[in-house]
Structure 1
Amino acid sequence: MSDKPAELLTPDAAGVERAATLLRAGAPVAVPTETVYGLAARADDAAAVAAIYRAKGRPDFNPLILHVPDIPAARALAEFDDRAERLAQAFWPGPLTLVLPLRPDAAITPAVTAGLPTIALRCPAHPLMRAVLTAAGLPLAAPSANRSGAVSPTSAAHVATSLGGRIPAILDGGTCESGVESTIVALRADGSWQLLRHGPVPQGALAALLGRSPVSLTDARIEAPGQLASHYSPGKPLRLQATSADTDEYWIGFGPLPGDTSLSATGDLAEAAARLYAALHLAAAAPQPRVAVAPVPEEGVGAAINDRLRRAAAG
């Protein structure tokens, strides 16, 4: 690691080319996506992927999401069936990750999948991330650009605060639109499917397209990011469903409950998702030693918000 601050790259052709040059050389670079900022590295180089784990302090049993520019690039890495094709056609580019059987000839290092026979693939929608994928000419492994288990970053400033001198560069794309990580779906060989992580694509939309409800998770196997019980922590005890706050609590409000900051004063769940991690970053920096969060409805993207909050509280 270095004490030198990360180079802040501009959101233009020069910044994209600089990011691509670093990535081709095996260095990790923080890049914006429509969900959160990712810490990208070339997926065919074990040393480059190891640099992600090292910068994040990430457990090596936790696999990484691989980002690709289009469906043909995904087909070269995973076994696509009719269900995968339908989901990709409907939701890519966008915030949906598919966990599929890994092709035996996939040109990636085993560290990306943590040795599993499956691979997590996403085709991102953010124009800067798509430009970097095209310029680098490589599939990129890219988990969230923060220390493992901590609050995910939705701005370049969040990345700089979390990773400091641990990475060489950050491509500044402003604030992320969705604000929570992608929905993750695993398609099983028996025709069933499982929801491994809630996200911007709701379960109902997936079930409607696949024609059946998901099968419940029955084991503790980690197949994709965001499945750890403790994650997204602001580093302080966090209390959920709080309709008021104690004097030693920083209160994150929602709707009619204003708090010290609010996820959405109007009760808009999309706005709440976009502001979630920024609010947790504010809570982490606040003088109060504890955090309270107002109730958020368990509907639509609210399921993803509550999933992240429960994991943050577990931490």
Structure 2
Amino acid sequence: MSPVYDCSDEAQLLSGMRHARQAIGRGELVVLPTDTVYGIAADAFSPRAVQRLLDAKGRGRQQPPPVLVAGTATLAALVQEVPEPIERLVGEFWPGGLTIVLPSQPSLAWDLGDTRGTVAVRMPAHHIALEILEETGPLAVSSANLTGRPAAVAIDAAIGMLGDDVAVYLDAGPSATGIASTIIDATSLVGPRGENAPEPRVRVLRDGAVTREQLRVVLEDLLEPDPEPEPGGPR
């Protein structure tokens, strides 16, 4: 069985962090804590490692994993442009539960799947995840679960689903929130727009830790309108 390190024990934490960094360097998978749910991580610049991640989750290339970063400087290096409204969002909600989709930097040599030229980026608010990211650089990270199953909020759930497909498990106790990050699509804010192009809007792809109300305080009319309620549903 793959080793599990109790991060509440200083000696195990140091050993686990070292083995996690080594596993990432070998193109293997690591389960680590974040501020939302446990994540399964791979070297974002190793196509074989990213494919291992997708295979472990039972996920196809049409569902590329997000990328976790240690700071805003790395975000700027991974995307074509960071529009001013996104700078405001990052200042308000990073580190934290907001994943931002932007056009990726075309010069980067990576293969995250069928991204259509975009990348989803987040800076987590968890000291263990951030320390690993500082050492390894950007990591492809998806929730530590099999596709279609609930995201793991405790290490035992991740182990039960992913088993020996993962080289190292870092156990930091129950997830801080257990709520997945909100994902927004800000690609329309980047690049030139034709004369008859629609107004750029930020779309919410997945509701999560950051609410639409919080996003609207920062983005105002740049955020897409809230969806219409379902017929017969609550008003």
| Range class of TM-score, shorter chain | 0.7 to 0.9
Contact 1:31–1:129 (CA<8 Å) still a contact in 2?
yes
Matching residue of 1:143 = 142
Tell me the TM-score normalised to structure 1 length.
0.64
3-state SS, counterpart of residue 143 of structure 2: coil
Matching residue of 2:87 = 85
In the alignment, residue 144 of structure 1 is paired with which amino acid?
S
Residues 1-315 of structure 1: pairs in structure 2 closer than 5 A:
5-11=1-7, 12-78=13-79, 79-107=81-109, 109-110=110-111, 112-136=112-136, 138-187=137-186, 188-189=188-189, 190-212=199-221, 214-215=223-224
Deviation at 1:213, TM superposition (A): 5.9
Change (3 A) 1:89 1:113: farther
In the alignment, residue 107 of structure 2 is paired with which amino acid?
D
Higher relative contact order (CA 8 A, sep 6+): 2
Question: Superposition RMSD on alpha carbons, in Å?
Answer: 1.9
**How many residue pairs are counted as aligned between the two chains?**
213
3-state SS, counterpart of residue 23 of structure 1: helix
Deviation at 1:9, TM superposition (A): 2.2
CA distance in 2, matches of 1:216, 1:168: 43
CA distance in 2, matches of 1:6, 1:198: 33
CA distance in 2, matches of 1:24, 1:217: 43
Contact 1:43–1:140 (CA<8 Å) still a contact in 2?
yes
In the alignment, residue 129 of structure 2 is paired with which amino acid?
M
CA distance in 2, matches of 1:60, 1:151: 20
1:41-99 deviations in whole A, cap 9, x for unaligned? 00001001011011111122002110000000010001211011111111111110001
CA distance in 2, matches of 1:149, 1:16: 29
1:20-48 deviations in whole A, cap 9, x for unaligned? 11101110101110111110000001001
Return 5+ residue gaps in structure 1 as ranges.
219-296, 299-315
CA distance in 1, matches of 2:76, 2:144: 26
In the alignment, residue 118 of structure 2 is paired with which amino acid?
T
Q: Alignment identity in percent? A: 32
In the alignment, residue 138 of structure 2 is paired with which amino acid?
P
Over 4 Å off, 4+ runs? none
1:114-166 deviations in whole A, cap 9, x for unaligned? 23121100000111111111122x20001011111111100111111111222
Deviation at 1:169, TM superposition (A): 1.5
Tell me the TM-score normalised to structure 2 length.
0.85
Deviation at 1:215, TM superposition (A): 2.6
Return 5+ residue gaps in structure 2 as ranges.
8-12, 190-198, 228-233
